[in-house]
Chains A and B, each alone.
Chain A
């Protein structure tokens, strides 16, 4: 909804200062969005994907090449951009995706489960690059995850959603104190009143499994 792909049934939201319904086009021009599944095409090379997203997201032609070079450098993609994305590992794919989302210099970057299906090394690499991005470019990152331990370690503010409703929000510290819990896992259980594994439709599960398989 915040990326304007879905229409809200009620309420309003502003992203990067623009209303998501009335000024959807402005919102889309100021954000980057990386869905949970793989959004770069496996049949294209990394550079072709970068060029494509530069074109469709309105990067001025004069700056295209420079920004692509910059994104490649920021995400450390130099050795692989000329290869087909089909041959990438899961972590490489995620880094390429983040690079494609950086081309517009988004003020807000949405990442849906950026580390799902990745091995611990790849996961660490992705987070390192995201931290770098936040510190050096001042991009606001909005990340969704099921891994409370990741949220605790990497995020400044956390909102816990339960069946589409906001169950709790605050910094990891505040949340732990509010619920008198030792870890965010416990906070989650207390805030939602149930274990973490419930919920999620059959299709979500199926999609996630398929995705994990693809990521190897």
Chain B
């Protein structure tokens, strides 16, 4: 092997600083991280199956048990169909909220320090990790869709509806993953994070419209649910997956979810370097 031809001549990494190049690094960096997260998932597909059990329990045990409670289904015939989007979003929420654990784990291993020493923008690292959570959520959603189809649960099947609800689910999951990274940057140790994760995930789930219409909740809880991004994610998916009048509220669901993602992605990118201390 000769020194210059087969070897690594010094400092050949070219670096452009114009906005387009910066945006390119952000987009490609995000894609690269999302890609390895998907590869990891492929090497460990048992994980997807075990994680799919819980939403199925909600759907078939909880959903079937309460099917005859007329007031719960928000005027929709099949309660199981009514909670299907909620259960999907819930499964994704739990993946996302505990994603911060992976960040702490990678900090302990040194992967995070290593990434921070590459030209990758911090926002790219955060968005890449968040997309990793979304990839998991999407795969789980497909498992659930398959089960819904086989069990002939009364979903309004349309290409646009399924695609739209997956996009919304991906956005919401990425946003909750960013929230989780913010928490990870603050609490810093795995032991503390476990407690905090539970503390955040359960109220988010129950103070939302995932399992029941908001109209059933007491006023104070309804107020909380109204500012809970999960409510908008679930309502939006419900509008797209059930034969309900769509109205013009759908764009609000998308806007709120997207704004939530933007705010927490920005916050996580700022706080992220603190996670390594």
Interface residues, chain A, with chain B CB atoms under 8 Å away: 3-5, 16, 25-26, 28-31, 33-41, 43-45, 48, 52-53, 55-60, 67, 70, 73-74, 84, 102, 104-107, 110, 136-139, 207, 210
Are B11 and A107 in touch, CB under 8 angstroms?
A: yes
* C-alpha spacing A43/B45, complex, angstroms: 12
Are A56 and B13 in touch, CB under 8 angstroms?
A: no
Q: B33 near A: Cβ within 8 Å?
A: yes
Q: B52 near A: Cβ within 8 Å?
A: no
Q: B247 near A: Cβ within 8 Å?
A: no
| Residues 246-277 (chain B) with a chain A CB within 8 angstroms | 273, 276
Are B43 and A57 in touch, CB under 8 angstroms?
A: no
Contact of B3 among A34, A38, A136 (CB under 8 A): A136
Interface residues, chain B, with chain A CB atoms under 8 Å away: 1, 3, 6-15, 17, 25, 28-29, 31-33, 35-36, 39-40, 43-44, 108-111, 113-120, 273, 276
Are A41 and B120 in touch, CB under 8 angstroms?
A: no
Shortest Cβ distance from residue A131 to the other chain B in the assembled complex, whole angstroms: 14
* C-alpha spacing A57/B119, complex, angstroms: 6
A-B contact pairs, 18 of them (CB 8 A): A3-B117, A5-B116, A5-B117, A5-B276, A29-B119, A33-B117, A43-B43, A56-B115, A57-B13, A58-B15, A58-B25, A58-B118, A60-B14, A74-B7, A105-B9, A107-B11, A136-B7, A139-B10
Shortest Cβ distance from residue A175 to the other chain B in the assembled complex, whole angstroms: 28
Are A48 and B109 in touch, CB under 8 angstroms?
A: no
Given A105-B8, A136-B1, verify A207-B273 contact (CB < 8 Å).
no
Residues of B within 8 A of A31 (CB): 117
Are B108 and A29 in touch, CB under 8 angstroms?
A: no
Given A31-B117, A105-B8, verify A44-B32 contact (CB < 8 Å).
no
Contact of A58 among B33, B44, B108, B119 (CB under 8 A): B119
Are B109 and A28 in touch, CB under 8 angstroms?
A: no
Shortest Cβ distance from residue A25 to the other chain B in the assembled complex, whole angstroms: 6
